[in-house]
């Protein structure tokens, strides 16, 4: 293997430490802790592993972590009512419905019910629109993780050819927007694409299709960076979308599965939750200052009028 492994677990630890330090500094000013509410509809053994990772990360940072488990058959109104309750809860700064949802639920209706400032996965239509317009907003965790991994290996996307395999609204499309903003030339592929032709000249390959070893190592350009987001279970082992052994012989950098993107995605979720808490603290502080300013102006107005009335009374 000639490629350098990109250590997602190591970067996860580094990011968690940075968040912990920033959190400690901010708490001395605002007090309180970030609150993260995870909503699970039904129980899935495979996804429970990722839920545990998120829970462990939140508890490590001493977030107020809450988990709401609803029945697999829970009607959409019940899920949305819960989200509305969490929207109103000032101690909840991040709301994360665990995807995928059961088939009878509309992901867009569920995500759309979240207050955009509490949408820590960055999938609300408002946040998606802000991303397209290159305006400040919450960015999806996995695309953020990819960009942070590239930064860690000093890969500058500007002028590079990037190929994203997978066009989902939670990974492929938002990642394309982030890479375009970083001045890469981006191609988004899907099941109807000619992958060997698309990858032939790709400086960066990102796969997020969830299909074991479908991306052949022989398709990878020599010296390319390979980011494998796929998680697939084969014969009891976890493997990615990319044929790792042969791809590693041609790539300059490659993420392992597991231990690559997933670990950094969890850290990005914690980062988004922390940022939502900071923003909520800022809004609360501004509102408090507004009330105080109003009270001050009222008192100042009273200070000007009360002596006049008093003097009038004495003179009478």
Q: Which residue has the tokens 């605002």?
A: 30
At residue 315, the pLDDT reads 31
At residue 26, the pLDDT reads 84
* SS3 assignment, position 220: coil
249-274 pLDDT, tens digit each: 999 999 999 999 999 999 999 999 99
Does 42 have pLDDT greater than 50? yes
Mean pLDDT of 57-75: 97
β-pairing, 94-97 vs 35-41, is: parallel
Strands (E), the chain: 4-5, 35-41, 64-70, 94-97, 161-165, 185-189, 204-207, 225-228, 232-234, 237-239, 253-254
Cβ partners under 8 Å of residue 256, min gap 6: 5, 6, 8, 228, 244
Q: How far is CA 174 from the centre of its chain?
A: 11
Does 135 have pLDDT greater than 70? yes
Q: List the one residue out of 262, 269, 274 whose CA is nearest residue 50.
A: 262
Does 299 have pLDDT greater than 50? no
Domains and CATH numbers, the chain: 33-121 (3.40.50.10860), 130-262 (3.40.50.720)
Residue 282: what are its φ and ψ, rounded to 5°?
Answer: -65, -45
Give the Cα separation of 111 and 95 in Å (integer). 9
Residue 307 pLDDT grade (very low, low, confident, very high; cuts 50, 70, 90)? very low
Higher pLDDT, 186 or 24: 186
The share of the chain scoring above pLDDT 90, in percent, equals 78
């Amino acid at each position: 293997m000639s490629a350098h492994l990109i250590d997602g677990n190591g970067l996860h630890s580094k990011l968690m430490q940075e968040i912990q330090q920033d959190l400690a500094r901010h708490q001395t000013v605002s007090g309180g802790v970030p609150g993260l509410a995870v909503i699970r509809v039904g129980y899935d053994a495979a996804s429970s592993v990722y839920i545990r990772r998120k829970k462990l990360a939140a508890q490590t940072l001493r977030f107020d972590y809450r988990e709401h488990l609803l029945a697999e058959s829970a009607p959409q109104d019940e899920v949305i009512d819960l989200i509305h309750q969490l929207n109103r809860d000032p101690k909840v700064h991040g709301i994360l419905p665990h995807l995928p949802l059961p088939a009878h639920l509309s992901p867009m209706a569920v995500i759309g019910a979240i207050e955009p400032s509490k949408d820590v996965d960055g999938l609300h239509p408002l946040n998606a629109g802000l991303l397209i317009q290159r305006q400040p907003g919450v960015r999806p965790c996995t695309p953020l993780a990819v960009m942070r991994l590239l930064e860690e290996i000093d890969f500058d996307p500007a002028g590079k050819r990037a190929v994203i395999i997978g066009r989902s609204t939670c990974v492929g499309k938002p990642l394309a927007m982030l890479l375009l903003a970083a001045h890469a030339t981006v191609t988004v592929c899907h099941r109807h694409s000619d992958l060997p032709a698309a990858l032939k000249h790709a400086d960066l390959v990102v796969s997020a299709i969830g299909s074991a070893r479908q991306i052949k190592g022989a398709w990878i350009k020599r010296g390319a960076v390979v980011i494998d987001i796929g998680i697939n279970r084969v014969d009891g082992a976890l493997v990615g979308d990319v044929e790792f052994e042969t791809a590693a012989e041609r790539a300059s950098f490659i993420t392992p599965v597991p231990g690559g993107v997933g670990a950094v995605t969890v850290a990005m979720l914690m980062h988004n939750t922390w940022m939502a808490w900071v923003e909520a603290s800022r809004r609360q502080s501004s509102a408090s200052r507004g009330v105080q300013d109003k009270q001050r102006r009222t008192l100042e107005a009273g200070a000007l009028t009360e002596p006049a009335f008093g003097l009038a009374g004495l003179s009478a």
